Amino acid sequence: MKKLLAILCIGLGMTTYAQEFEISAELRPRFEYRNGYKTLAVDSLNAATFVSQRTRLNFGYNSEKLNVYFSLQNVRVWGDVSTLALSDTNGTAIHQAWAELMLDSQFSVKLGRQEIVYDDQRMFGNVGWTQQARSHDALIVTFKPNENNRIDLGLALSAENESLFEVDYTINNYKSFQYVWYHTNLSDVGLSILALNNGLTYLDSDEEQQVDYNQTFGAHATYGKDKLKADASFYFQTGKIATADLSAYDFALNAHYAITDNLDIGLGGEYLSGTDMNSTDNKIESFNPWYGTNHKFNGWMDYFYVGNHINTVGLVDLNATIAYQKNKFSATLVPHFFSSAATIVDNMGDEMSNTLGTEIDFMLGYKFSKDINFQIGYSQMFATESMQVIKGGDKDETNNWAWVMITVKPSLFKTSFKKEETTN
């Protein structure tokens, strides 16, 4: 009987497509103790304690010609509304809502609200640590001639609303961007190249809004063979930010070696150029990792490039990693030694040491099941007077941060089915 149906389908020109539909969820409450997180503590202010929570409901559909994904998200702090509240503070937002059209075996188009993630997430990442995370309203055209090569062309155009004529764009966001990303795999080496044209608004001398563009060009490479893994990257930025010329760069090198199946050690360094505090030139030499997952880099206490430290003295980050994992248990220790890339001066105009301080990050993890993960972390900053100059606060206070997080990500419903389509 099955053979007969197959013969009839061929005769009628019918094609069978496999399809999948899944509903999943995420519940992620996180307790935090902040006493010197992002900036140095002061004696007159007590530490902050709170529980934040991310809740997501995700719908995914996949087929040979079409992929669709929706992610509804609520972000809250426990107690931010009363127990009898009629409405939520933040409400429920659409984190992702995109469709991907598979035009043929090599070309696809993905459009809508979506996360954009490339390489190590230094320039484009989903910022998954923050409860709200990051997503873009964009269109991405992908060309994959084979399994080892891929080219993405990304386009975004931002407006506040539908208007009859041009109006100012006042949201803290890009007005537009265009980028090309290319990736290739060469045996043990992976290589990516990125070119980003980034448009930002500003007010000119007549208080009229203009858009200036800056450009980021760079490459990211990875190497992995046997017990050794390494990565390196270099980015250069040019163009304009408002009326200032931009000339900045960033380079990084990291290496990891697996001593045993359970123990991994690593050394790394990153240099992000900065602008001297005593500079009188109308020029920005501070590198900006525009849309990256910056919590992943330069210390988990987020002193640098997480909504802060932009257009300042830059950063030199030398770090080491000791990571242990066995069965469901994991532990990670990461010390950082920070210094500035440009000159720091005090309020008298005197130059200061470039040394900013040392941060120690520690995390324990336990994977209770496929859907449930526990994590606990502690970080402490040992700051210098130079750090106090650029951050404020008191370097002599105990500057620390602790957190406990539970992540629950169940698959609520999943099914596969086939659809037949007549082709003649």
Question: Could you please report the per-residue DSSP string of 54-71?
Answer: EEEEEEEEE-SSEEEEEE
pLDDT tens track for 38-81? 999 999 999 999 999 999 999 999 999 999 999 999 999 999 99
Q: In this prediction, what percent of the chain has a pLDDT beyond 70?
A: 95
User: Is residue 31 within 8 Å of residue 404, measured between CB atoms?
Assistant: yes
422 forms beta bridges with: 14
pLDDT tens track for 344-387? 999 888 999 999 999 999 999 999 999 999 999 999 999 999 99
Evaluate if residue 10 carries a pLDDT over 70. Answer: no
3-state secondary structure of 296: helix
User: Is residue 165 within 8 Å of residue 175, measured between CB atoms?
Assistant: no
pLDDT tens track for 97-120? 999 999 999 999 999 999 999 999
Q: 22 pLDDT band (50/70/90 cuts)?
A: very high
Q: How far apart are CA 143 and CA 182, in angstroms?
A: 10
In one-letter notation, the amino acid at residue 38 is K
The angle subtended at Cα 30 by Cα 26 and Cα 34, nearest 5°, is 155
Q: How far apart are CA 247 and CA 238, in angstroms?
A: 5
Nearest to 122 by CA among 43, 231, 245: 231
Assigned token pair, 302: 């987020």
Evaluate if residue 165 carries a pLDDT over 70. Answer: yes
Q: 87 pLDDT band (50/70/90 cuts)?
A: confident
Q: How far apart are CA 272 and CA 75, in angstroms?
A: 32
Q: 1 pLDDT band (50/70/90 cuts)?
A: very low
3-state secondary structure of 106: coil
Evaluate if residue 399 carries a pLDDT over 90. Answer: yes
Q: Catalogue all structural domains in the chain, each as residue range(s) with its CATH number.
A: 2-422 (2.40.160.100)
Q: How far apart are CA 293 and CA 124, in angstroms?
A: 7
For 103-188, where are the E strands, in sequence order?
107-114, 136-146, 149-157, 176-186
Confirm whether pTM is higher than 0.85. yes
